[in-house]
Structure 1
C-alpha cells in the first residue's frame, strides 16, 4: 500500500515451508489430512497458487478447496488457521469464489476470528474476505446481524495498515444500509475514524472520509462528530495544500454537518467560513469548488446562518462562480443562490451584482441539471421581490421559463411555474407571460403525479387566471377537467391552491358551468362533510362556483340573494338530491319528455328575426341567435319585462313598486287564488299540456298562464332583476317558494322603521300584500301546515 511518510509495519514472520505437492488438486486433497504439518503446507501451497491469478482461483474452486478451507479457519492450530485464512482471503477476491462462499454461510465463522486474541495476519485476511463479501446486500445484513460491526470498529486501531484498510472497506459497504449507518456512532466509531484522518496512507484517509460522508447524514452522528472536534480535524485537512486530493471528500463531510446553526457558528468561530470562501475561488479545481458551494448551501438553510454568510459577502463569491465553465460548479452555485435568496438583503445584493442576467442565460443550457438549478434560483430571487421579477422580465427570462414548462424534468417544471407565478403579480409582466402561451403550457403539468409540480402549477394558474382571456384559453386547452380532478387531493397545500384557481376561474359563468359539469360541486360537497379536508378555501371555491352558476345554486341551496341576478339561460330544475349532479340546460333539453315536473327556463333575449326594425351590430346579432339547443324565444316574457319597465319603474314609492310587480306577476299566472280553493286551480294539467305541445321537459316561463308559488316567485325575481329592484328567491317544501324584500318601513304602524324590515311578497292570495317575516300570515304563505303547528 502506498504511503506518504513512513514504511508499512512488518507483519509477524514465519519460517518458509517447502511445498511438497506438485499439483493444486493434490494440495486440495491434502486439506483433509489429519497431519497438522501437512495442513500447514497444503494451505500455503494453495495461497501461493491462488495469488498468481483469477484463473487459478477458479481452478481451486473447481477442485473443491473452499469447503475444507472454511473448516480449517476454525482449526485449533494457530499456524493452520493463519494459512487457511491467507488462502481463503486471496481466493475470495474472485467473483465466482465469492458467490460460492456466500452459500457456505461462512460469515459467522470469519467474524468470530476478528477477536483481539487472533493473529494480525488472520485479521488481515479475514477482513479481506469480508471486504469482498460485504459488497453483496445479503452479506451486509449477515455481517451486521452477526455483530460484525463492533470488532471491525475495534480493528480501526490495528497496527497493521492492511487490516485498517480492509476494515474501512467493510464499514464503508455496511454504512450504505441505513441501520448500519446509525449504529456506527452508537458503537463508538466516530473517534477512531477521526484518528485515521491523520494516517500516512491516502487510501485510508479517503475511505475514512467516504464513511464519514455517509454516517454524518444522521443528526445524532453529527452531534457526536462535533463533540469529538471533527470540524477541527477536517479544517486541518482543508488548510493543508498537500492534502488537496482529499479536499473534495472533506468538504462533503463538512456540508453534511452544517445543517444546524450551532455547527455553523462553531466552524465560523474557527475561521472555517472564511476558509471556505478562499477554497471556493481556487481556480482549476471544479470538484472542490462544487463541494465547497454545497457547504455554503447547507449553511444557508437557517435564517441565522444566512445572516452570517451575508456579512461574509458570500453573494459576491457566488456571482463570480456563475461564470465558471464547469457545469457542476454552476449548478451548485445556482442552488446556493436559491438558498441565500431566502434572505431579503441577499436578493438585492444578487441583483446589484449582476447575478440575474447570468442566471437567465443559464436557462438556455443543454444540461438538464443546470437548467433545473437556474429555474430554482430564479424562483427564489423573484419571490416577494418585484424589482428582481422586473429584471428577469427585461432579460427575456419569462419567455424561456414558459418553454421550460414543456420539459421532462419535474424540478424544472415546478421551479419555472413558481418563478412565473412570482412574476405574474405585476400586470405588465403577466400580460407578456400570457402572450407567450403559458396557459396551454400549464395544462400538461396539471396532469402530473408530482406534488410539488402540482402545487406550483395550480398557484401559478390562480394568479394568471385573473385575466378573462386566460380563463377562456384554459377552457379551450382542456385544462378545466384536470383542474377539477385535483379537488380529490388530500394534500392540504395543493387542495388550497386548486380551490383558489377554481375560485378565480369561476368568475366566468360558462367556465363555472363546465366545471360543475365535471363534478366540481359534488367533490366540494363531499369535502364539506370532512372535518379534516374542509377549509375556508374549499368553502370559497364552492361559493364562487354557485355564484357564477345560479341555476345550480338554486337547485342545491334553494336560495338566491338580492345580489344574485337572474339572466338569460337561468333554469329551475327543482331541488337537487344530496350527491346528485345538476344537469346542464343542454342535457335537460336533450332528454325525452317524461312525467317529472317541468324545467322552467328564463329567456328574455329577442331573436334577430323578431326585431328586424331595430338595427343591430352584426356580431351582437349572431351572439343572440347562436344557441346550442332549440331554446325558443319567450315573447310573453319579453312583453312582461317591457310592461314592468314602463309601468313599475316610474312609481316613486318602493312599496308601490313591489305591490304593482306582484299584481303583474299574479295576473300573468292566473290571478289571485283563495287558499281554500287552491286545490281547484288546475296548474298541473296546464304544465303537462305545455310539455306535450313543446315536446320538451323545458318550458319557458312566459308560456305559463297558470302558475303557483314556485312559478310566480321565480317570475317575480326575474322581472325584479330586469328592472333593477331588489329581492331574494327562497324555495320551500311542496312547491312553495317566495320572495323576500327589505326596506325601512314598518307594516305594524305604517311608517319608517329605525331598522330594515324583511317582508314576504304575496303573489297568490292577496297579490301585492307584504307579509312581515315570521308572522302567522307569512308562515301560512310559506307552508302547507296548519297555523297552530307553526312558530310565530
Structure 2
C-alpha cells in the first residue's frame, strides 16, 4: 500500500475579482440635512463614523448659541442619549466624549426641579457604570460633572454612599487627578455627599481608609479660586466635628490644615476667598487642640502681623470679619492675656462702635469672652465714657438687629454686671434701663428668642440684688406689666416660665410689683403653671408661692381665688415636685382659719394673732364648703366663732343691712334697723387679755424683754398654762357646774347650745365673737386658751377630735432624764418652736390647769376615750 503525502501548497486556477466586489458594494453616501430632528434619528446608527459625525455636528450647533442648548432640550436629546446610555460601549473615544459633552451642556442649563427623582437616579446609575469602566481623562471630567449635578437631589445623593465600588474609584481619581475641572467637581460632589449624612454616618464615612482629606487640604492653596472655595466649603463641614474620633484626630493633620489656612490667608489677606479662609479657621479653632497648636506654633502671631500691616487699606467690615478667629480663640482663658497683649481687645471695641448698621455677632462674642481677663475688663469699664454700654443696650433693645446679635449683647451686659456691678449698674440706671427692659420684653415671642429673654431676666435679677435698684425697677409699673404679660404667653416653653417666676421672686419685695402682678392675672398664670405637665414649671411656681406668702395680699389671693384649691386637689400629680407640699403649708401657716379647717390642728408655730381666726363648730370634709361660707353672704347651720384682739368695734364698711321685707313681723321692732357682720368687733377679748397680763405680772411670769424672743421658759410652762386655763374658765363658766374628771357625766352642752343660739339672735347671724361667749365647754375654751397662749408667747397646740365635737390643747414639757444632755433645760429653752413636740394635754374643764401626759389615763378620760 503506497503512502500519499499532503501537499502544503496547491495552485489555484481562479482568483476573486476584487474590482467587481468593490463596484457592487454599497458606497459612501453623503446627504445634506437641515433638520435637527432628522439628524437625531441617525443616533440610532450602529456605525461609529456616523455617530461621530452626527454628534460632532450637534456639538458645533450647541456651542454656537446658548439658546441652541434649549432647543436640544426641547427635542429631548438628553432622554435619547440616556436611552443609548451615552454610548458607553462605543469603541471610539471621540463618540463617548461628544455624548458626555452634550449631556453636561444640557445639565448646565437644567434646574433641579426640571428633573424628576427617578430620571435623576437613572442618569446617575448610567454615569456610575460609565465611570467605573472609563479611563479617558476627558470622559472622567464630564462624568464627574454629571455626577455632581445629579447629587443636587438629596434623595439621590443618599444612595451614592451605598455604591462602594464607585466611591473607591472616585477617591483614587480625585487624589491623583491633575485636571482642575475634575478636581473641582469631585470636591463639590463630596460636599453634597457629606450634607446628606448624619453626624454618625459622616464620622464613619470620613474615617474610612483612603478618604481624600489631605488632598482637600492641599487644594486650599490651589491657583483656581473656584477650587479653593470648594475645598474650604468641605473643610468647614469636616472641622465642625470637634470630637476626638474625627478625621482630624491626628495632630499632624491638625497642624497641616492650620498651616495651609494661615499660609493661604497671609499670601493675600485681600483675596476674594480671604473671608472664607477666616471662616474655616474660626471653625477649626473651636477645638481646643487646634487652638493650642495655633498659639504654640506662632500661627497666631503670623495672622496678627499681616492683619496689622494691611488693616489701613482694608475696609472696616472686612477687618471686623477677619477678627472672628480671635473670638473663637478667646474661648480658652489661658490665651486671653496673649490676645489682649496683641491689641485684639481694642480691635473688638472699634468694630463694635464703627460697624454699620450693626456689628457681627462674633464681635460681641469675643468681647463677652474677653471679660474673663481683668485687664480687658478694666478696658471695657473705662470705655463706658465712649458710649460702649449705650451701644450694647441699643443693640439689645432694637427689633431691627439680628436676633443672635441681640442675644450676645444682652449676655454681655449681664456679664459686665457680674464682673463690674457698681459702674455698670449706675450706667444702666442712667439709661433708664426699666423703660428699655419693659419695651423690649413687650415685643414678646416670637419676636424675641428664648435665649434673649433669659439674658434680659438675668439682668433684672442682677440689678435687683441692690435694694435701691430693685426699688427703681419696682416703681416702673410698665416693666412689671410686661413681665406678667410675657408669662401668660410663655407656657409653651417650660425653661422660660421657670426663669420668669424666678425673676419675679427677686422683685416681689416691692409693693408696686405686688399690686401690678395681682391686677395682671398672676393668679391665672399660677393656676396654669400648677396644672402644667412640666415638673420644672411646677417647681418654679411653688417656689414663687413660698416666696410670696410673706405678704398678706398674696396669701388672701391664694386662698380666695383658688390657688390653695388647686394645690390641694392636684397633690397626686406632683409627687416629683419637692416644693409642692411646703407651698401648701406656707399658705396655711399664714392663715390659721384654713389650716385648722383642713388639718384640724394648729401647731406651736401657727399663731392666731394678727388677723381674724374663724372656727366652725362643724367639721368639714371639704374645706371649700367652709371657704364658701366665709366668702359669700350666707349663714352656716352651726356657729362660727370669730377671734380678733385688734377690732373692738366692727367697721361700718363690713356691716350688711337686712331689708325689712326679709324679716319676720315678730323680729321687727319699730324703726330699728337690722344688720349683721361676718367680721364683728370684739371689745371683751382685749379686756380679758389685759386682765391676764396683770395676773401673770403678779406672779412674775410676763415676757422678759432681755431674753431672746422665742426662748421657752420650761420652768414656768405649767404655771402659765394654769393661769391661762383659770382665766378661760372664769370667762366661760356661766350656768355650768363643775364636774369630776372620773365621772361619766358630760358638761351641759345643751346650756352652751342655748347660749350660742341666743347670741345668734343678738348678732343676727352665726358669726359670733369669741369674747361674748360666756358659757363654753372644751370646744370654746380650747380656742380661747390657744388665742391667749399665742398672745403671751406660750407654745401651745389646738387639736380637733376625730368626731369634730371636741377641741383640746397640748403644751411641751421636757421629759428630763438624769445625765441626758439632750434633755437639758438650758439646751431645750433655745430650741426652735418647730422642733418642739407636744407632751401634755391641758385640762380646761375638770381640774382647771392640770397637765396630763399624752396617752395617760387622765388624758384619755379628759378626751372621753377611757
> What TM-score, normalized by structure 1, do the two folds share?
0.81
Which residue of structure 1 aligns with residue 293 of structure 2? Answer: 266
Deviation at 1:209, TM superposition (A): 1.0
Q: State the alpha-carbon separation in 2 of the partners of residues 233 and 355 from structure 1.
A: 42
Measured at CA, do residues 702 and 433 of structure 1 come closer, stay the same or move farther in structure 2, by a change above 3 Å?
Answer: same
Deviation at 1:643, TM superposition (A): 1.6
Which residue of structure 1 aligns with residue 680 of structure 2? Answer: 634
Which of 238, 257, 282 aligns to 1:230? It is: 257
Task: Tell me if the contact between 1:98 and 1:133 (Cα under 8 Å) persists in the aligned partners.
Answer: no
Task: Tell me if the contact between 1:130 and 1:170 (Cα under 8 Å) persists in the aligned partners.
Answer: yes
Q: State the alpha-carbon separation in 2 of the partners of residues 479 and 279 from structure 1.
A: 59
Three-state SS of the structure 1 residue aligned to 2:787 is helix
Measured at CA, do residues 753 and 414 of structure 1 come closer, stay the same or move farther in structure 2, by a change above 3 Å?
Answer: closer
Task: Tell me if the contact between 2:852 and 2:858 (Cα under 8 Å) persists in the aligned partners.
Answer: yes
Three-state SS of the structure 1 residue aligned to 2:811 is strand
Which of 354, 360, 381 aligns to 2:416? It is: 381
Answering whether residue 408 of structure 2 is matched by residue 368 of structure 1, we say no
Deviation at 1:211, TM superposition (A): 2.0
Answering whether residue 414 of structure 2 is matched by residue 333 of structure 1, we say no
Deviation at 1:201, TM superposition (A): 0.3
Which residue of structure 1 aligns with residue 89 of structure 2? Answer: 76
Answering whether residue 228 of structure 2 is matched by residue 213 of structure 1, we say no
Answering whether residue 632 of structure 2 is matched by residue 590 of structure 1, we say yes
Deviation at 1:732, TM superposition (A): 4.6
Q: State the alpha-carbon separation in 1 of the partners of residues 517 and 426 from structure 2.
A: 28
- Give the count of matched residue pairs: 748
Q: State the alpha-carbon separation in 1 of the partners of residues 589 and 642 from structure 2.
A: 18
Three-state SS of the structure 1 residue aligned to 2:248 is helix
Three-state SS of the structure 2 residue aligned to 1:219 is coil
Task: Tell me if the contact between 1:279 and 1:292 (Cα under 8 Å) persists in the aligned partners.
Answer: no
Task: Tell me if the contact between 1:133 and 1:139 (Cα under 8 Å) persists in the aligned partners.
Answer: yes
Q: Unaligned stretches of 5+ in structure 1?
A: 1-17, 611-620, 787-792
Q: State the alpha-carbon separation in 1 of the partners of residues 68 and 777 from structure 2.
A: 105
Deviation at 1:725, TM superposition (A): 4.0
> What TM-score, normalized by structure 2, do the two folds share?
0.75
Deviation at 1:330, TM superposition (A): 5.3
Measured at CA, do residues 236 and 699 of structure 1 come closer, stay the same or move farther in structure 2, by a change above 3 Å?
Answer: farther
Which of 298, 306, 331 aligns to 1:301? It is: 331
Task: Tell me if the contact between 1:648 and 1:657 (Cα under 8 Å) persists in the aligned partners.
Answer: no
Which of 532, 540, 552 aligns to 1:509? It is: 552
Task: Tell me if the contact between 2:392 and 2:413 (Cα under 8 Å) persists in the aligned partners.
Answer: no
Task: Tell me if the contact between 2:498 and 2:537 (Cα under 8 Å) persists in the aligned partners.
Answer: yes
Q: State the alpha-carbon separation in 2 of the partners of residues 139 and 691 from structure 1.
A: 92
Which residue of structure 2 aligns with residue 14 of structure 1? Answer: none
Q: Unaligned stretches of 5+ in structure 2?
A: 1-29, 658-674, 702-715, 819-823, 830-837
Q: State the alpha-carbon separation in 1 of the partners of residues 68 and 203 from structure 2.
A: 40
Which residue of structure 1 aligns with residue 500 of structure 2? Answer: 457
Query: How big is each residue's C-alpha offset from its partner over 1:677-722, in whole Å with a ceiling of 9 and x where there is no partner?
Result: 3497359976996999789786665676776655543333233334
Q: State the alpha-carbon separation in 1 of the partners of residues 106 and 567 from structure 2.
A: 68
Deviation at 1:226, TM superposition (A): 5.2
Deviation at 1:557, TM superposition (A): 4.3
Three-state SS of the structure 2 residue aligned to 1:771 is strand
Q: State the alpha-carbon separation in 1 of the partners of residues 560 and 389 from structure 2.
A: 44
Task: Tell me if the contact between 2:480 and 2:513 (Cα under 8 Å) persists in the aligned partners.
Answer: yes
Which residue of structure 1 aligns with residue 207 of structure 2? Answer: 186
Q: State the alpha-carbon separation in 2 of the partners of residues 196 and 764 from structure 1.
A: 102
Q: State the alpha-carbon separation in 1 of the partners of residues 116 and 152 from structure 2.
A: 13
Structure 1 range deviating more: 276-285 or 332-341: 276-285
Task: Tell me if the contact between 1:156 and 1:193 (Cα under 8 Å) persists in the aligned partners.
Answer: no
After the TM superposition, which residues 749-764 of structure 1 pair with which residues of structure 2 at under 5 Å, given as runs? 758-764=839-845
Answering whether residue 714 of structure 2 is matched by residue 650 of structure 1, we say no
After the TM superposition, which residues 122-271 of structure 1 pair with which residues of structure 2 at under 5 Å, given as runs? 122-146=139-163, 152-157=170-175, 158-179=177-198, 181-182=202-203, 185-187=206-208, 188-220=211-243, 221=246, 223-224=248-249, 227-228=252-253, 229-241=256-268, 244-271=271-298
Task: Tell me if the contact between 1:741 and 1:759 (Cα under 8 Å) persists in the aligned partners.
Answer: yes
Measured at CA, do residues 753 and 239 of structure 1 come closer, stay the same or move farther in structure 2, by a change above 3 Å?
Answer: closer
Query: How big is each residue's C-alpha offset from its partner over 1:459-514, in whole Å with a ceiling of 9 and x where there is no partner?
Result: 32221112233223321232343245335567677665544433322211221332
Q: Which has the larger radius of gyration?
A: 2
Query: How big is each residue's C-alpha offset from its partner over 1:380-431, in whole Å with a ceiling of 9 and x where there is no partner?
Result: 1112542244343354262323432223322433322211211221112222
Task: Tell me if the contact between 2:262 and 2:303 (Cα under 8 Å) persists in the aligned partners.
Answer: no
Query: How big is each residue's C-alpha offset from its partner over 1:18-40, in whole Å with a ceiling of 9 and x where there is no partner?
Result: 99753332244333334444444
Which of 353, 365, 373 aligns to 1:323? It is: 353
Answering whether residue 419 of structure 2 is matched by residue 350 of structure 1, we say no
Measured at CA, do residues 531 and 82 of structure 1 come closer, stay the same or move farther in structure 2, by a change above 3 Å?
Answer: farther
Which residue of structure 2 aligns with residue 94 of structure 1? Answer: 109
Query: How big is each residue's C-alpha offset from its partner over 1:749-788, in whole Å with a ceiling of 9 and x where there is no partner?
Result: xxx9665684322234444222234534335546x655xx
